[in-house]
Structure 1
Amino acid sequence: MLKPLLAVLVYAAALTAAGQEKQASLEYLKKNDPDSLNVVVFVEDGCPGTQRSYERVVEGELLRARIKRQPTWSIYEVRLMTHMQCAAQKTGLVFLIAVDFFATYPVLDPAPDESDYYIVRYRDRSNSFFGAFTGYNDSNSVEAEGMLKTSLRDAVTDALTDYLKANFGE
């Protein structure tokens, strides 16, 4: 099993490489009912704070954008995914925040060995953060949590801006 720091670094390298791929168009973010959006907030162990505290940050950005959090997700709908990964090291806390949109679309006439849907992932490079909080320890975990929440809020705001542009025009 990879050590936590190595896992975060490998994931960050994959993020950078993924950001260089051809990006999906904003057209893929369009929905018939853009006032609601399914959202997944995933926070791995190692990040200060609680899963619920980070969910509240995302919910606050949805509220400001006047988008209702859709409780269920159907396979052919757009979904906002947030993923946070943290690893405490001797020199501080290394973290990664990724915010993506995922959508699946049907394949009209799939071959026998082909799936009947394909997945589109939309990520703007500004929707992801990789960084470190130096000098992290138990005495300043609240400060580190605040910095992580601010970074998450910024990434979600950027992602929702793209979503709003796609669905309501510029």
Structure 2
Amino acid sequence: MKPQSAGDAGSPIAKPQSIRLATFLTRLIWLSILPLLLLSGWQAFEHVTSRREELDLEAATQAKSLAATVDQHLTARIAALNVLAHSPLLDETATHQAFYREAQGFRNNFGSHVVLAALDMQMLLNTRQPFGTAPCPNCRGRADGLLPPSRWRPAGPQSGTPSSDRSPRKHW
């Protein structure tokens, strides 16, 4: 019998398994590359996430800017129309020509025409036409395009009527 050392107290000595050199080197390479792959994957994910947040912030900023621009434009139009609506030139029929000149100023500044109609929907003036001309020869005395809400009808593909049949005078 062989004498046993203190570290061998009753257990057989395990013989290390031999592995091929190619297998050992492959495992060593993977073990050294794996942390780099995990780090680069995490960095790519963080980059995509931060870029998406930047784009979302930029889109929100552009949307707010566009909304503010539209609000300013609408506020200016409403204020100008309010000035026209409160004009003392509307009180007398004799001063409608002066009001027409003011309405032309609105058209020149905002690019939209102004139509003044009485409560009975009779068009009094329209900046599309010279002052004093007949409102609309085919409208039978009514303002072209002005219908009371009770006479509104949809037009276009949803209603089954062709788009060219949108003229209000065909519905009177």
State the TM-score, normalizing by the size of structure 2: 0.21
- Report the structure, 1 or 2, having the larger strand content: 1
What is the TM-score when the length of structure 1 is the normalising length? 0.21
Higher percent of residues as helix: 2
Larger Rg: 2
If asked which structure has higher relative contact order (CA below 8 Å, sep 6+), I would say 1
